[in-house]
Structure 1
């Protein structure tokens, strides 16, 4: 099976979790190039240094759960040589995600506030139009 290397992927809102291989290093994400009907173009995890035989399909539907489980496993049991740097990387990744979520929340709150202003302005304009129409009818 030939493959090409990719980075952690996010396409059309799909998220793929970081994985650690059996060596304790960050597993790489690759794309299958085989001619098989079901697996061509499918993503999979593998050992970047080829030091171990780690292989796992990369499915976005379970990535968030797997990511949480993988982080919990690493934090609980750890890997001897890279534990500190992996935990620091996980914390950095979580902080980055939180910043993105906070930014999106601020945008949504701003949009929500603008919608309130538009609704109130529309109600004021509709009331004004009704009053103008009522005055026009009364003056005839």
Structure 2
């Protein structure tokens, strides 16, 4: 009876194959088991000279999960391209806004100069009208 339960549990197990990984030192990386509370019993590769080596560190991803990882990486790449495209558009619009702001400031300065000139002319016209009225009053008074 115990043989059948052992066989049943063996059928549920799957074979896992590992490929050698090489660190930045060019040596075969060591496979270790994480004992951390965040990633208990997870496998990872490190430099064989750890902690004095090249600091190579890579989580082991089961082969059946690698396809899913590629799909996620492709999705991330697509999202990144969309973000970059939007960023380019924002940069272009920002440049256009700067140009429009500069043109608006120049137009404002030009209009302010025109208003100042018109104001000066109105001042001269006002003085002229006042003087004309004074002359008219004097002429009428002297008659």
**Given the two structures, how large is their TM-score scaled by the length of structure 1?**
0.41
Larger Rg belongs to: 2
**Given the two structures, how large is their TM-score scaled by the length of structure 2?**
0.40
Q: Greater relative contact order: 1 or 2 (C-alpha under 8 angstroms, separation 6 or more)?
A: 1
